[in-house]
Structure 1
């Protein structure tokens, strides 16, 4: 397996997305594996730490798995005043 010059940037952006979306390696790996990913969970962890290289297709599957998980999460938003009606200091009354 040769080294792809884009791999470090792809890995870094995947790590950034995982952190921003609060996705664990276990969550990522489970989705990736369900999409026919062939690397084990420890291999994915090692890849994310920059310890091993993965083939392009496996890296792309990891990116797709991450993007799917992100798409399923509810978006963050700041509520307007009319959305706050009935809300106490902690949450809905």
Structure 2
């Protein structure tokens, strides 16, 4: 489940056309505490993240909000 979520998050991230820095700043603003390089590695499929951080990215990081703005499906999912 976590691996498939990460793949979907990577695709969603690419579709949003956001810079990693922008995504990290939004994640950080909503309480995320991982370094930018960790978020970069996760969004590019290079390392896993704890469920809480994945959910923060999917919920408030703008991936789903940005996808809505672009009229694209919500690929960023939540993990229990």
TM-score of the alignment, normalized to the shorter chain, above 0.5: yes
Residue correspondence of structure 1 range 1-93 to structure 2 within 5 A: 6-64=1-59, 65=61, 66-71=63-68, 73=69, 75=70
State the TM-score, normalized to the length of structure 2: 0.72
For normalisation by structure 1, the TM-score amounts to 0.63
Q: 1:42 deviation in Å?
A: 0.3
Task: Please provide the CA RMSD for this pair.
Answer: 1.8
Q: Which has the larger radius of gyration?
A: 1
Q: Is the 8 A contact 2:13 2:43 kept in 1?
A: no
The structure with the greater share of residues assigned to helix is 2
Residue 7 of structure 1: CA displacement?
Answer: 1.3
Give the unaligned 5+ runs of structure 1: 1-5, 77-93
**In structure 2, how many angstroms separate the alpha carbons of the residues matched to 1:60 and 1:39?**
13
